[in-house]
Structure 1
Amino acid sequence: MGMRIENRMYPSLFRTSEAESLGISKHRLLHDPRFRAVIDGIHRDELKLVEHPTPSWADDAWMNESLKLRAMTMAVPGIAAGGASAARLFGLPLPRRLIDSHLHLVTFDPGRKVSRKGISLRRHNLAEGDYWLGMPMHSPVGVFLDLSAVLTRDELVALGDSIVGRWHGPPLCSLEFLRTKIAERRYLRNRKRVEAAMSLVRESVDSPQETDLRLWAINCGLPEPVVHPPVRCPLLNRTVEPDLGYPHAKLALEYEGDHHRALRSQWNSDITRDEALRQQGWEVLKVTSQTNRIRLEHKIRYYLERRSGLAGRDSLKQC
């Protein structure tokens, strides 16, 4: 799955010290909304626009944060987006409490300092960064480890699934690479939490909702469902991969987001896929944000016991 990149228009940026040479008076710089300050020392020109590559899924908040980061790189060399800011710019899932306007930065320069309202800087000894869409970013591995301090195990699994998965585009790195880099760390904060999360990170996950559903099943004591189990469907003359499934019991779990109902093409595709799966003897359970999870658990247990001959409900821990 590729990520579609668009060239969107952004206000151009200039330093306060450049205003006079640009023909901008001190009064206009302070009072004309055309030249609002992005950060101290860096202003934006709302009429003089420039193009920057932008993911098709990016919203206004993403564009504002990316502009603020670009402004900071003009004011303070040797910094990169890190933590929650890097995660937001990469398009990784975060809990609502970490969705705000605070800009999180990292530096690999031990002497670098930043003291600005709404901006924090974290120093790292290990230089792990690169440019992404023209912006300096901490590595996905570094972002994962930094956020382990503020995320729960399950939230960290969702982050890891998204890093090695394909929610907003191709993986940022492979699961093997993520595991290797973490294993190489001699000193690792929150080691138990990181290792517990890494044991549950899976490749090819398409959305945080899939992760949530899989972790919910595990936390209920159900067997872990397989991510995208391949099912050869002669009716379609191709292989179908449901979101989650139990191949031994031919039971599929499909998470239906709002777009499944809103887009007729997606709706028709879902119907065709489900018909093909059922022709191959699979049962398909649909899950939405409104699904009663207690009833869903009972359904899954019923089909697992019926189709795979499990010992009974007592052999599976209840939620």
Structure 2
Amino acid sequence: MDLRIEHRSYPSLFRTGEAEERGISQHHLRYDPRFSAVTAGIHRDEVRRVEHPTPSWAEETWMEESLRLRAVTMVVPRIAAGGASAARLFGLPLPHRLVDDHLHLVTFDSGRKVARKGMSVRRHSREEAGYWLELPMHSPVGVFLDLSAELTRDELVVLGDSIVGGWHGPPLCSLEFLRTKIAQRKYLRQRVRVGAALSLIREDVDSPQETDLRLWAMSRGLPEPVVHPRVYCRLINRTVEPDLGYPHARLALEYDGEHHLLSKMQWASDIARDEALRHEGWEVLRVTSQMSRALLERKIRYHLERRAGGGGR
């Protein structure tokens, strides 16, 4: 998936000491909401606006967090978004308990101490950072490892699938790169959990729901479904890739999110694809968040056993 970038309007930022040269009195600086403080020493100007590159999928919370990050970089050198903040800015999925308005930062200056309201800073000796959409960010590998202390194994798999997949744009890195960089770490917290998660991360996954469905199937003792098995369909003269599947049993699993139900175009495309798969002898099971998982398990087992026993064509 391509990353669509928009240039959106943001409040301009200025240091407290620059207020006078901007013609802003101390009274207005303190009481006028136009000039509210973003962090100590940095104010925003809601009238004087600037444009910054912004992902098309970004909401107001993303824009506000990115603005706060820009503000703190004006007063604290060698600082970058890390942990949950970096994950949110990259567009990576997190469990609800990690979705808040706290700004998580990392610094690579071992002697630097930062104490600011609504922010926490983790010091790292290994400098792994770069700029993404003009924002200083901890590396995807660093974000993955920092969050390993807060996420379960399955939550780490979801995070890893999103890093090496194309949920909100191109992969942030390859699975091979992620594994190689982590293998080079001599000292690694949560090594067992990280290793278990790495063994389950797959490339080309399109959504967290697909990851959850794949992990659920394995937790029930079912074989691991293949991510996007390729099936050439003569009816439409092209190759289609269902979300998950068991090629040996010609069984496809398609997760229907909300957009599948709301978009008439998507709905029509899904119907045509399913018809083409069935024409090739595949069975298609459509899965929703409301579907009984017990019933789904019975259906999957039925089709796997049926094909294993020579049923179907």
Question: TM-score normalised to the size of structure 1?
Answer: 0.96
Distance 2:250 2:103 in 1: 47
Give 1:149-164 correspondences, 5 Å limit.
149-164=149-164
Distance 1:17 1:101 in 2: 27
Distance 1:309 1:248 in 2: 12
Distance 2:307 2:7 in 1: 51
1:78 equivalent in structure 2: 78
Cα deviation digits, residues 99-156 of structure 1 (max 9, x gap): 0000000011111111011100001111100000000000000000000000000000
**Residue 130 of structure 2 is aligned to residue 109 of structure 1:** no
CA RMSD of aligned residues (A): 0.8
Q: Secondary structure at the match of 2:28?
A: helix
1:251 equivalent in structure 2: 251
2:212 equivalent in structure 1: 212
1:315 equivalent in structure 2: none
**Aligned-pair distance for 1:57?**
0.4
Q: Counterpart of 1:261 in structure 2: which amino acid?
A: L
Distance 1:110 1:145 in 2: 19
Distance 1:175 1:207 in 2: 16
2:241 equivalent in structure 1: 241
Distance 1:37 1:266 in 2: 45
Q: Which segments of 5 or more consecutive residues in structure 2 lack a partner in the other structure?
A: none
Give 1:172-183 correspondences, 5 Å limit.
172-183=172-183
Sequence identity of aligned pairs in percent? 75
Cα deviation digits, residues 196-234 of structure 1 (max 9, x gap): 000000000000000000000011110000000000011
Distance 2:122 2:98 in 1: 17
**Residue 87 of structure 2 is aligned to residue 87 of structure 1:** yes
Distance 2:112 2:306 in 1: 63
Question: TM-score normalised to the size of structure 2?
Answer: 0.98
Q: Secondary structure at the match of 2:214?
A: helix
Runs of 4 or more above 2 Å deviation: none
Distance 2:133 2:254 in 1: 33
Q: Secondary structure at the match of 1:75?
A: coil
1:313 equivalent in structure 2: none
**Aligned-pair distance for 1:195?**
0.2
Q: Which segments of 5 or more consecutive residues in structure 1 lack a partner in the other structure?
A: 311-319
**Aligned-pair distance for 1:97?**
0.2
Q: Secondary structure at the match of 1:166?
A: coil
**Residue 276 of structure 2 is aligned to residue 265 of structure 1:** no
1:187 equivalent in structure 2: 187
Q: Secondary structure at the match of 1:222?
A: coil
Distance 2:157 2:70 in 1: 30
**Aligned-pair distance for 1:308?**
2.0
Distance 1:106 1:235 in 2: 53
Aligned length: 310
Cα deviation digits, residues 218-265 of structure 1 (max 9, x gap): 111100000000000111111100000000000000000000011111
Cα deviation digits, residues 14-63 of structure 1 (max 9, x gap): 01111011100000011111111111111100011101000000000000
Q: Secondary structure at the match of 2:166?
A: coil
**Aligned-pair distance for 1:75?**
1.2
Q: Counterpart of 2:173 in structure 1: which amino acid?
A: C
